[in-house]
Amino acid sequence: MRLSRRPQFFALVAVVGLLLMAATPREFWGVNYFVAGLGAFWAVALGIEEIAAQQRNRKREEP
């Protein structure tokens, strides 16, 4: 099962959001959490959607 680049891209955005905490002043860490949370949410949602679509296609192809 392979995921396309899109969920991976959102996962990358989430990771970058967290890594940037090192450079962000503490009072704005909420922004990092927001970026990481939303990025992770879309990475998971798109990943689930793709896996479900792949399974549907496989079932359809089976005799």
Q: Which residues bind another protein (CB under 8 A)?
A: 4-6, 9, 13, 16-17, 20, 23-25, 28, 31-32, 34-35, 38-39, 42
What is the closest distance, in whole angstroms, from the C-beta atom of residue 9 to another protein in the complex? Answer: 6
Say how many residues make up the chain: 63
Q: Which is nearer to another protein, 29 or 63 (CB)?
A: 29
What is the token pair recorded at 10?
């959102």
Contact at 8 Å (CB) between 55 and 41? Answer: no
- What residue type is 15 in one-letter code? V
What is the closest distance, in whole angstroms, from the C-beta atom of residue 4 to another protein in the complex? Answer: 8
